[in-house]
Amino acid sequence: MKYKAIGFDYGGVIGGVGTTGNNFSDMARLLLGVSEDTFAETYFGMNHKINLGEVATWREFWTEFLDKLGQPEKLDELMVLSDESSRNLLVIDYDMLALVDKLRQSGFKVGLLSNTTLEGARYMREQNLDSHFDAFNASAEIKLMKPNPEAFAKLARELGVQLDELIFIDDSEKSLSTAKECGFTPILFISRDELLKQLQLLGIHA
């Protein structure tokens, strides 16, 4: 069998799937009156700070973010949207978790690689999410974040496989953007049903 391991993102794949308020960036852009490109360029230019633990809280992060956009007065309103989005991510999709367990039971190594804060990692461990995976990597803990090839290389090492034996599932095209460079097989997550179809195309029946 070519594939020996399957990796999963958390937010949008296992957590927060199908909840309301997942369109945080759209609502934030409306609040701030900025273009999609401006929002994305500013956010992705500094999101390593929260995902690698360089800033401790989202409030600190959004304060700096708004300073860059020249709209510090919007902090309280943006925090309302941010807090709602964070609460949605706490909702675990247990059907997806059951799929993780089934794949593991059928002989695949399974791993989690999430761009998340120390607080987010702590929450996942409190829910015993780490017990479902052979490797559990949170960016703020390992000081590496997707799409950095080193983050995927570390996951593969911990799973005991080569990168070309790894499938990685994520709802973000950006997070999967180094797949060709790394050598793993990417699956862009849309829904559980679509994921099952994509896995079947790769010869994996779950």
Digit-coded pLDDT (tens) for 88-138: 888 899 999 999 999 999 999 999 999 999 889 999 999 999 999 999 999
Residue 206: predicted pLDDT = 81
Q: Looking at residue 92, what DSSP letter applies?
A: B
Q: What is the rounded CA–CA span in Å between residue 139 and residue 137?
A: 6
Give the SS3 label for residue 189: coil
70 contacts 158 by C-beta, under 8 angstroms: no
Report residues of the chain scoring pLDDT below 70. 1, 18-22
Note the helical H segments in the chain. 24-32, 36-44, 48-51, 58-69, 75-89, 94-105, 118-126, 139-142, 149-159, 179-182, 192-201
Task: Give the strand pairing for 135-138 and 109-114.
Answer: parallel
Give the SS3 label for residue 183: coil
Residue 101: predicted pLDDT = 97
Tokens of 78: 């943006």
Residue 81: predicted pLDDT = 92
Tokens of 201: 């195309």
Residue 21: predicted pLDDT = 42
Q: What is the rounded CA–CA span in Å between residue 109 and residue 3?
A: 10
